[in-house]
Structure 1
Amino acid sequence: MNTPSTSTAPPTDAISLRRALGTPSLVLLGLVYMVPLTIFTTYGIVTEITGGRLPVAYAVTLAAMLFTARSYGRMARAFPVAGSAYAYSRQAFGGPVGFLTGWTLMLDYLLLPMINYLVIGIYLNAAFPAVPGWVFALASIALVTALNLFGIVTVARTNYLIIGVQALFIVVFVVIACIALGSPGAADPLDPIVGDGSAPGLFPVLSGAAILCLSFLGFDAVSTFSEEAKDSRRVVPRAIMQTTIIAGVLFIGLAYLSYLVYPHSTFSDVDSASVEVMQHAGGAFLTAFFTAAYVAGALGSALTSQAAVSRIIYAMGRDGVLPRRVFGWLSPRWKSPVAGIVVTSVVALLALVLDLTTVSSLISFGALAAFSLVNLSVIKHYFIDQRERSGREVFGNLLVPGAGFLITVWLWTSLSPLALVVGIGWCVLGVIWLAFVTRGFRAPTPQFEGLH
């Protein structure tokens, strides 16, 4: 492979990403990426850990995530460009740190679509046992790749349909659950708050909150569409905060109602505890509807996450950190980063041979690294470089992002040894590639002048 150019000139291809997204579309992209029904993925696990206090754990998690979400919004306002944490940390700390941030972030983004394909295969194989799960996974990869190639407008329009299916399920679930709660012997409204006493104290709630932080992965994806947003300095920070708050309220509400419907903190199968809740609340109909809505949500998450990572790869290619002629090129017809989309699809083929447990144990490494660097970037850019230190600025530019950084550091303690080993190994590969690009660190890390 030829050494990527270190020139700061913009690509000869003058095509730019299409600015077509407003606040509602960006919020939908974030919500679809997060999957509103993702609460049911870890419902049984965290309900057991907290002794039935899942809504309380989600409230703690939402409060914690708002610190980092605010930092993303602050940096998106200062630097309204594609690249997310990669662009922010590069502007704050320089090219090498920016590159390594983007490199670790790619580990998260590249693996997230794969998890969705695995879930689709598992659920649809359970519904149609005659068809192997890998067939459904492969078909989903092909469909998502085609939709992304057609451009961001196609992605946004498809998301309306997918989020609509999930919204309809939520409405049906709420109605059925409320009817069930009207029956004799219904649970006490305080039960989801105080729990069943099987896991008393604050520590179980904090342990559950550490797991639930991964449910919020997706608000950061909104920032990757900054160059496709209308008035990005205004709408992107707003969309990031709205996405986080809306998702948090949905999670808390669904967790609260689910426990009222089925007030148990032990299950026959903790991984599929949501099926017990649905079966108890609405029988076979609600269980089937839940499966369909969950698969639709996984498809939407794969669609949005592939769009997000392809734009990170595009930003790095445009900067010359990756081969510019390949990764810094947009389709003249669809204005989409073709190479990044194709690479993501090829990586997603690993879903045909890997299992869900292995992939999910690796995904949080890159996200937490990005969260840490974005919080530090706010301090570096606003508090240190811009010297915004008077009055309330100390609170907003130092204390709030500092708290966000400490929270993400605390979350590192929940990572598995496998995730740490693979994540550190991925970072080492990144250092090796950066040494190659910069000819042994003798040349500067390539940058694109349009982002300065």
Structure 2
Amino acid sequence: MFGLVYMVPLTVFTTYGIVAQMTGGRVPLAYIVTLIAMVFTARSYGLLSKAFPYAGSAYTYTQRSFGPGVGFLAGWALMLDYLFLPMINYLVIGIYLNAAFPAIANWVFILAAIALVTVLNVIGIVSVARTNFVIIAVQAIFIAVFVALSVGSISQGTTVDLMAPFTGTGAPDGFGVVAAGAAVLCLSFLGFDSVSTLAEETKDPTVKVPRAIMLTTLVAGALFIGISYVGHLVLPTHAFTDVDSAALDVMGVAGGQFLAAFFTAAYVAGATGSALASQASVSRILFAMGRDGVLPRGFFGRINKRFGTPVLAILAVSVVSLVAIWIDLGLLAEMISFGALIAFSAVNLSVVKHYFMGEKQREGVAVLHYLVLPLIGFALTIWLWTSLSPRTLIVGLIWLAIGVVYQLVITRGWRRPTPMIDLKE
């Protein structure tokens, strides 16, 4: 449930207009490409969550496999998408509520959402879990209504080309633009990654966390492909009134003003749930890095005695999220995917390093499990990473360069080891 809420089943409409224009309307095809890559990576996360059932996700896995130095850089890249994911949820909340209530500025809705999510996260993970069930229920009802009204709308029109969501409009054409769209859509799959950050708060994590990771990936992937497929059949074009809120055009054709209003309510609820889950995850990653001394331990490595949560880390994420008031949706989406793909690549390699090289599991089918499949996942994530736009690669590489400089400072020019704590102890 945490993973599905984090991903938001309706997140398909977060970048629907952007990816539709990038791919010439072939959003479902782009999702299929992304899902294939994510299944390999989700499998690697599951294997490593068994070996290292601790908070910290890719940061912890890479740290334990390659050492604290490489682990820090993976955590730094992961922090980029985790810090930005709450932000993108606040931004789309502002975009859609402003479209519904034009008299109220975006930033008012953004601030209100940040305040609400921060309070719920400070109270604790139980409040997050309870809220998740309500949000999933609302989105499930909306999806059922959307599909029913869409089928009705399609059946009343002229002959429908069922392959149109895969063949597109022809402008732009080619598979390269589909790969670029698939790279952006990686942000939709960050939910399976977030599941691993709750390992220290899960009963029997070595069994439940890997299972939840794979189920979250497959269920969400099927939902994304299905919803985007229906959306293109309803409105087989990528010429939208506003590319950031393209979903409102689709809803208007499928079910008129009623469905548009219902969508806004369900989508905002989903975005709020995703912000809730993503802020919970990133605050725990910051806590893990603070506990290790990589980030200031006195600030990030502290747990509030009353609530049992990393309150200062949660507040830090809230402050960073204020950037949502000014940033562009397209750049924000691509930056999240940049950080995610770097972390995913590191996790796939960590399986090879830990199991194949470290534990020397190299006999029979182990070669397939611990070498071949992780390397396929690594190759796919690198391919998607190189498909991102030049501006995203430039900004992302600047972020990584800042991380290297920070690492130089805390290690005094690599003369000292990067701080690391024995989590087994």
For normalisation by structure 2, the TM-score amounts to 0.93
Question: SS of the counterpart of 2:54?
Answer: coil
* Unmatched segments (≥5 aa) in structure 2: none
In the alignment, the residues of structure 1 paired with residue 340 and residue 379 of structure 2 have an alpha-carbon distance, to the nearest angstrom, of 15
Which residue of the partner structure matches residue 219 of structure 2? Answer: 246
Query: Which among 158, 163, 171 is matched to residue 131 of structure 2?
Result: 158
In the alignment, the residues of structure 2 paired with residue 449 and residue 268 of structure 1 have an alpha-carbon distance, to the nearest angstrom, of 54
TM-superposed CA distance for 1:220, in Å, is 0.7
1:428 is the counterpart of 2:401? yes
Matches within 5 A, 1:100-111: 100-111=73-84
TM-superposed CA distance for 1:186, in Å, is 4.7
In the alignment, the residues of structure 2 paired with residue 96 and residue 427 of structure 1 have an alpha-carbon distance, to the nearest angstrom, of 13
In the alignment, the residues of structure 1 paired with residue 116 and residue 346 of structure 2 have an alpha-carbon distance, to the nearest angstrom, of 34
Change (3 A) 1:372 1:54: same
TM-superposed CA distance for 1:196, in Å, is 5.3
In the alignment, the residues of structure 2 paired with residue 248 and residue 84 of structure 1 have an alpha-carbon distance, to the nearest angstrom, of 21
In the alignment, the residues of structure 2 paired with residue 184 and residue 360 of structure 1 have an alpha-carbon distance, to the nearest angstrom, of 34
TM-superposed CA distance for 1:46, in Å, is 3.5
1:342 is the counterpart of 2:315? yes
Paired amino acid for 2:257: A
Paired amino acid for 2:80: L
Equivalent pair of 1:222/1:236 in contact (CA under 8 Å) = yes
In the alignment, the residues of structure 2 paired with residue 211 and residue 120 of structure 1 have an alpha-carbon distance, to the nearest angstrom, of 19
Which residue of the partner structure matches residue 446 of structure 1? Answer: 419
* Unmatched segments (≥5 aa) in structure 1: 1-27
Query: Which among 46, 57, 63 is matched to residue 84 of structure 1?
Result: 57
Matches within 5 A, 1:115-134: 115-134=88-107
In the alignment, the residues of structure 2 paired with residue 304 and residue 77 of structure 1 have an alpha-carbon distance, to the nearest angstrom, of 22
Question: SS of the counterpart of 1:321?
Answer: coil
Question: SS of the counterpart of 2:335?
Answer: coil
Matches within 5 A, 1:2-401: 28-183=1-156, 185-195=158-168, 202-401=175-374
CA RMSD in angstroms, aligned pairs only: 2.1
Cα displacement string for residues 117-156 of structure 1 (whole angstroms, at most 9, x for unaligned residues): 1111122122222222111111111111100000111111
Q: Single out whichever of 253-262 and 78-87 deviates more from structure 2.
A: 253-262
TM-superposed CA distance for 1:199, in Å, is 6.0
Which residue of the partner structure matches residue 22 of structure 1? Answer: none
Cα displacement string for residues 144-196 of structure 1 (whole angstroms, at most 9, x for unaligned residues): 11000001111111111122221111011112122223335351444434545
In the alignment, the residues of structure 2 paired with residue 343 and residue 61 of structure 1 have an alpha-carbon distance, to the nearest angstrom, of 31
More helix by share: 2
In the alignment, the residues of structure 2 paired with residue 414 and residue 390 of structure 1 have an alpha-carbon distance, to the nearest angstrom, of 35
Identity of aligned residues (%): 60
Paired amino acid for 1:208: G
In the alignment, the residues of structure 1 paired with residue 416 and residue 180 of structure 2 have an alpha-carbon distance, to the nearest angstrom, of 45
Equivalent pair of 1:187/1:261 in contact (CA under 8 Å) = no
Change (3 A) 1:230 1:423: same
Change (3 A) 1:202 1:346: closer
Equivalent pair of 1:186/1:260 in contact (CA under 8 Å) = no
Q: How many residues align?
A: 425
Equivalent pair of 2:30/2:181 in contact (CA under 8 Å) = yes
For normalisation by structure 1, the TM-score amounts to 0.88
Question: SS of the counterpart of 2:160?
Answer: coil
